[in-house]
Structure 1
């Protein structure tokens, strides 16, 4: 992948070593690699010319990957004259936070000051671009991909049982953890400060919600539309542009704005499935006709899925179980074949403006907290749970379920339907494996992240959690990796810094009005988006893997072989695999097919790397 890698505090600079570390970063997209060396440090960036920034002078090494811009006009002038990396070198004397604050947009940054034995690593506010690091003695190793970091002779590459457990729980490995012991990843808006062999991580930015806004709807709508156009215009500054178009509100909005700012029809790309309940192509066509885009379609087949599985496992440096990476890859590959070099994605709209259905669901559960405790405990709950024969009365069963879920505190309540919890960790994993993992760690980590937000409203606290867990840890890597595999860049206009700040200024009710999702967003875009897009039920970009697994022999064979090999690793219980494939899948292919996919992708990931547990 394109990215950045290097070290500080490890012997003399070795050109061969930094070149070998950088090679995995360019493995799939063939990006150009440029490296700089110091006495005890080296840095390399693999990226296209516009996304590769390097500077070295007097023991100071600056490396930057991405397309950020300088926030201040004076800094922008220096960058225009001497390059952005040189401009940031001038900011270094003001401290790490000052350097990070000087940048807007997605980036990964490294500054090494060999004279002071000091370095800073940082990633952008929304965590679009990752960075993994490891302290080996007094040496700091870092890379955008763990595959690159592992090349360094000081890097440790033993598998972390907790990382594996977290993967099966979340279907990805949440940051700052990784799949390797001793390695960590920076969080969104976080920097690492290295001094004389010691490291400290701290946040230089955190989402700050302004919950008491009093601006008129008309003023907000005007600013919103201006920000949308500015964000899309900024995202189209590099390369030949296309846009994902699923037919949902986010991708349709980006496609429409792209047509508006470009002054002509945009190239849009959609994926469909020949499976009942999974295909949304008609909505994409509605949006395309409405905006006049040059629309391109591809229907993914089971054979396509089988072919893509090893490729997706190969490109992900951490185990990754989001099956939507497959259709995203075929969508991006179709665009690349047309000469598109940069795709625009609508990711982030749900997490900024309140679009996930669970927000409305949790609002309903939260209403139970408003019932006086005495009334709940002395009257309601005894009546509902002690009613004779209540399990046979549908209304009482629903009331019991509601009370049981409403009684679970946040954010644990969000995990009520977690697959691993439903099966039970002891039924899924071997005893030897569980001895090395803390089964309470995932919920504890969620609670820490949830508790870090200073938002007062439930909706904003959930949004802050999802910006990290759903977006930075899951959806962004999915699209980034899919596009990298296809050989195209990707940009996310909704994650433009100014757009993020705008969303933070909306009131909670403008995001979730009762149970109305995206209240402001949809009202502001009424008349711009087709009515059918505004009113459609949220669907997502799901892959019908479980359904196809019942019918397609090559997929069945691939899944069976993968699970049988995973069984030999001593992680998952053999009887659980047999029950999953032999019983659960037949009972509910869509539901249990997800766990088959997650375990299959874990084995496929292992096959791509020579690592041990």
Structure 2
């Protein structure tokens, strides 16, 4: 994986600059030891650490240009320049001519950094869906510090290491810290498709591209199907580019599709990797095997055990430079490790398929709730809602209880209706957080962030498209991409996401909403287009996910229970979480519903492990 880092600031001695950038880069490559390219000026430095195919650096007359990732251009003139002079040199020319619009002509999964040490100017950008992160910290009028790792920034002598209390709240609410905020008060992150421009002490942040849905295009299904399959093959082929590649295989539609397409593109059995769990309701190995047999892949399996979890928790905490609570990072790591041991260069991840084509269960659920709004407003607001909501919440016939529950949720406006099951909100902020932390945070911020993100796509008329765009930020850029990228980074494995190829994204933007969610039928077009290619069992299976049976295992596995209890005991001393909540969580809640309350145990445990690995000083 590796990454990119650098700064523009006050002048230092050349030897000091070299030592600083070496420390920053060392943080980037501590798990994979990829080659490093570095350029140093009197008041600036830039370093790209990655294998040569993903690393581009240009230096001329005070101008430093660094690019990290899989990058190309759909502009034929720019691509010709890239082929002739190299990606970084071509972007340098584009920047001089077009400024921030130069970024809009790029495609792929990338981070771009441009530093003009003479003009005291910096430009930063990440790709439109945010497959990689880019952190930055203002150095005041002097300049700016930036990098793809928060840990790398912290090695700079002018880095601010103060913890952001709001980040702690956001972590427990979202199970990660959504951009643009971070766990550090002085650090921010670029959002997908954003650029940052620093010049003469002033910083401007904006979007260099706008993603817009076109909901009025109607095309015949055979034409759509042919184009879609062609784009899939092209995307997988571009991602592989002669590398030794394999793919995750969960048994879902996305990973199974990639397994089949990879076999077609390479002309040999795809190497596929699956994780199983010996826990009822969590294991999908049966479906992974169906897909593996169907495409005759070179299939590899590993069953994660509670002992594996005990061993791997500190490693997972070490690779994430912010508190991160998605437990499926652990099985993703084991897939990456198997692939690395097999000598592969690249794993293909199916992330993005659900969010482009309508595959998450909550889309169908929210559609059902939205039907309530079709009842005439006077009848709904003055008769049905008051009557049904006046019924006792947990008493009476089952049908009436269900009706009350339905109306109670349906009357919550979007997007907040999607948060009615939020774990932290269920407990209550005052129940969970210490009074000292509550005094430093804004408990209304998560709701404001959710509302603002949802309203960013107000041009979309359909409910499904607004939910998809919402998930591009919270599910993909803030959660799934970092999860897979960092877990594979820990395993020393590169990862690519063929479903978020720019051409497939454009295709999905012009796909009619009813082709994504037809009534309650998820991914309607996607599944119809792949009938005859995917096994019927894969197309018709219920979506399950890649969850870790942590709460279940806590009940039976003593070492796992002990490290969880020890970490939560240590967390008490940080004065973040109320001690009585921790005691009640372990002594009562966990025994009432292991899988539900086990999620909070995991979140708090990973928070404490993150502090131990990255920031041992007490908050």
TM-score (norm 1): 0.98
> Residue 514 of structure 2 corresponds to which residue in structure 1?
509
Match of 1:573 among 568, 575, 578: 578
**CA displacement 1:276-309 (0-9 Å, x = unmatched):** 1110001001001111110000100101111110
CA distance 1:83–1:407, change in 2 (3 Å) = same
Residue 543 (structure 1) aligned with residue 548 (structure 2): yes
| Greater displacement, 600-609 / 390-399 | 390-399
Cα shift at 1:612: 4.7
Match of 1:301 in 2: 305
* Alpha-carbon distance, 1:204 to partner: 1.0
Instruction: Indicate how the Cα distance of structure 1 residues 560 and 363 shifts in structure 2: closer, same or farther if over 3 A, else same.
Output: same
Q: How do 1:182-331 and structure 2 match up within 5 A?
A: 182-237=186-241, 239-331=243-335
**Counterparts of 2:394 and 2:469 in 1: how far apart (Å)?**
39
Match of 2:488 in 1: 483
Partner of 2:505: 500
Selected match of 1:455 from 449, 452, 460: 460
Q: How far apart, CA to CA, are the structure 2 residues paired with 1:296 and 1:262? A: 18
Deviation, 1:534, is 0.2
Stretch of structure 1 that moved more, 498-507 or 364-373: 364-373
Aligned to 1:601: 606
Check whether the contact 1:140–1:197 (CA below 8 A) recurs between aligned residues. Answer: no
Does residue 33 of structure 1 match 2:33?
no
CA offsets, 1:128-160, max 9 Å, x none? 111000102222000101000011111101100
Q: Which residue in 2 is equivalent to 1:369?
A: 373
Gaps of 5+ in 1: none
Secondary structure at the counterpart of residue 343 of structure 1? strand
Between the two proteins, the alignment pairs up a number of residues equal to 613
Contact 2:9–2:44, Cα closer than 8 Å, also in 1: yes
- Give the Cα separation in 1 of the matches to 2:489 and 2:595: 28
1:110 match: secondary structure: strand
Say whether the 8 Å CA contact 1:244–1:268 is kept in structure 2.
yes
| Closer/same/farther in 2, CA of residues 366 and 57 from structure 1, 3 Å limit | same
Distance 1:215 1:561, change over 3 A: same
Quick check: 1:332–1:488 contact (8 Å CA) kept in 2?
A: yes
Look up the match of 1:391.
395
Match of 1:446 in 2: 450
Does residue 1:430 correspond to 2:434, yes or no? Answer: yes
- Deviation, 1:387, is 5.4
Q: CA deviation at 1:473?
A: 0.3
Q: CA deviation at 1:386?
A: 4.1
1:375: Cα distance to partner?
A: 0.6
The residue matched to 1:279 in structure 2 has which SS?
coil
Shift in alpha-carbon separation, 1:74–1:559, aligned structure 2, 3 A: same
In 2: Cα distance, 1:386 partner to 1:60 partner? 68
Q: Is the 8 A contact 2:388 2:407 kept in 1?
A: no
Deviations 1:471-492 (A, max 9, x none): 1100110100110000010000
Q: Quote the RMSD (CA, aligned, Å).
A: 1.2
**Separation (CA, whole Å) in 1 of partners of 2:335 and 2:321:** 21
**Structure 1 residue 591 displacement after superposition:** 0.4
Tell me how far 1:206 sits from its aligned partner: 2.7
User: What per-residue deviation string (whole Å, max 9, x for no partner) do you get for residues 428-452 of structure 1?
Assistant: 0111111001111011001001001
In the alignment, is the contact (CA less than 8 A) between 1:171 and 1:598 conserved in 2? yes
State whether residues 246 and 339 of structure 2, in contact with CA within 8 Å, keep that contact through their aligned partners in structure 1: yes
* Contact 1:390/1:396 (<8 A) preserved: no
Partner of residue 178, structure 1: 182
Counterpart CA distance in 2 for 1:159 and 1:389 is 41
Q: 2:383 maps to what in 1? A: 379
**Cα displacement string for residues 533-582 of structure 1 (whole angstroms, at most 9, x for unaligned residues):** 00000000000000111111111111011000001100000110011011
Secondary structure of the equivalent of 2:7? Answer: strand
- Give unpaired runs (5+ residues) of structure 2: none
Distance 2:530 2:30 in 1: 41
Deviates more, 1:597-606 or 1:81-90: 81-90
The aligned counterpart of 1:54 is 57
Correspondence 1:99 to 2:114: no
Going from structure 1 to structure 2, the CA distance change for 1:389 and 1:64 (only over 3 Å counts) comes to: closer
| Selected match of 1:42 from 35, 41, 45 | 45
TM-score normalised per structure 2: 0.97
3-state SS of 2:614 partner: coil
Indicate the residue corresponding to 1:355 in structure 2.
359
